[in-house]
Structure 1
């Protein structure tokens, strides 16, 4: 199975509460840049949304998993973002 992503695809890493935008792609790899985000406190956790076009950090090239279409980040896996605000009950900034 080959999963190819388009430039502009957003990935979300649940454990690290991070968003990444694809800035270059091949059939087996993506080059991503981490996006800044907004964080709103909620009941027992936080809600996260990316700030599109507002990058933090340098470009990083990542191999796309042929098993599930995810990419690796420093804390686990990042998956294509569904476009909705993301809730995380494990908040690395308050826990």
Structure 2
């Protein structure tokens, strides 16, 4: 089950690298297809952490989930996403 708002936020974060990523199918491998490089990937992760307000343990996430829009939505905005961090 996809979180529509989460998907929109992932797509918006990707669009900073290239506008065509807004219409990319959600199951395309972003790395293998060379749509983003390693530096862009690191920037994308930080942008998603900022957008979601949570920082998942990326070492515990299956690598395959880090490679697609669907996977990123699940990690950062899905029901299993960590609760946003509250700063005081």
Give TM class, smaller chain: under 0.3
Which protein, 1 or 2, shows the higher relative CO under an 8 Å CA cutoff with sep ≥ 6? 2
Q: TM-score normalized by structure 2?
A: 0.26
Q: Which has the higher helix share?
A: 2
Q: Which has the higher strand share?
A: 1
Q: TM-score normalized by structure 1?
A: 0.25
